[in-house]
């Protein structure tokens, strides 16, 4: 049985004091929920303050990062290493988000190196895959997603794949307010599970958690969660609002 997971990607938003206030408010709204894993991914600069409040209040909220480098240390100006994340109790890390790919030139090969490093450091990678609007309109969704999944999981073992999460995030639905239709999200999630089954075995695929992301909000979340292929969501803008985010958590 795959335990549902709802992850909030705060992107480049919130000062530390505001981040703490949101976490406190969120916890007041979901403290009685025990059937869902909740992960919040603040900007790096907010992680120490958020980590501190989670630990002090003994909140059952997991802490994630939005990115990481694959090396433990070195001359990589502006980067954050996996061991730095572990120091603050990080358990999950988003890897390969389309904004990282689009704006910062992140390749499938870089995604693969980060995924492998995360797993080696006992961090749970949330690996993002998804097609652009042009790719969808020209019938390339399956080809694009197939390539991203296979290259992202290159040289991993079935045991390692079972440790991770894959998020299907169609690029055209991120931050646009235009979500994929539930049946489309379910179809691509099923495709991802099929690819993993072929590459790593049916048992690995059956245990892999697949999230949908892309303009998920409190009004449409339930329609995505009705699919047995979708195990949760990677939420962007709505995760900045505790009321909206808690509604998404409760709708699964």
Question: Catalytic residue positions?
Answer: 97, 169
Q: Do strands 92-95 and 5-9 pair parallel, antiparallel, or not at all (unpaired)?
A: unpaired
Taking CA 203 as the corner, what is the angle to CA 197 and CA 208, rounded to the nearest 5 degrees? Answer: 75
Give the bridge partners for 127, in sequence order.
95, 166
Give pairs for 230-234: CB < 8 Å, separation 24+: 230/185, 230/186, 230/189, 231/2, 231/3, 231/4, 231/5, 232/4, 232/5, 232/6, 232/7, 232/36, 232/37, 233/6, 233/7, 234/7, 234/9, 234/94, 234/126, 234/128, 234/167, 234/169
* C-alpha of 226 from chain center: 19
Per-residue buried b or exposed e for 87-109, using 16+ beta carbons within 10 Å of the residue's own CB? ebebebbbbbbbbbbeeeebebe
Q: Is 33 within 8 Å of 250 (Cβ atoms)?
A: yes
6: helix, coil or strand? strand
């Amino acid at each position: 049985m795959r335990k549902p997971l709802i992850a909030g990607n705060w992107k480049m938003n919130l000062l530390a004091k505001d981040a703490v206030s949101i976490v406190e408010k969120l916890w007041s709204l979901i403290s009685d929920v025990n059937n869902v894993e909740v992960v919040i991914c603040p900007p790096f600069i907010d992680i120490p303050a958020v980590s501190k409040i989670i630990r002090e209040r003994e909140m059952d909220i997991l802490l994630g990062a939005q990115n990481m480098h694959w090396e433990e240390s070195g001359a990589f100006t502006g980067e954050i290493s996996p061991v730095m994340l572990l120091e603050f109790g990080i358990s999950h890390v988003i890897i390969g988000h389309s904004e990282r790919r689009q704006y910062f030139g992140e390749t499938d090969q870089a995604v693969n190196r980060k995924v492998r490093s995360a797993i080696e450091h006992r961090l749970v990678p949330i690996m993002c895959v998804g097609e652009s609007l042009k790719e969808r309109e020209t019938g390339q969704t399956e080809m694009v997603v197939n390539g991203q999944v296979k290259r992202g999981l290159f040289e991993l073992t079935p045991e390692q794949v079972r440790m991770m999460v894959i998020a299907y995030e169609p690029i055209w639905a991120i931050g646009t307010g235009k979500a994929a239709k539930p049946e489309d999200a379910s179809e691509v999630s099923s495709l991802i599970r099929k690819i993993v089954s072929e590459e790593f075995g049916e048992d690995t695929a059956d245990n892999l958690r697949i999230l949908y992301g892309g303009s998920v909000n409190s009004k449409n979340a339930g329609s995505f969660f009705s699919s047995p292929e979708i195990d949760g969501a990677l939420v962007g803008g709505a995760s900045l609002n505790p009321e909206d985010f808690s509604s998404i958590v409760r709708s699964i």
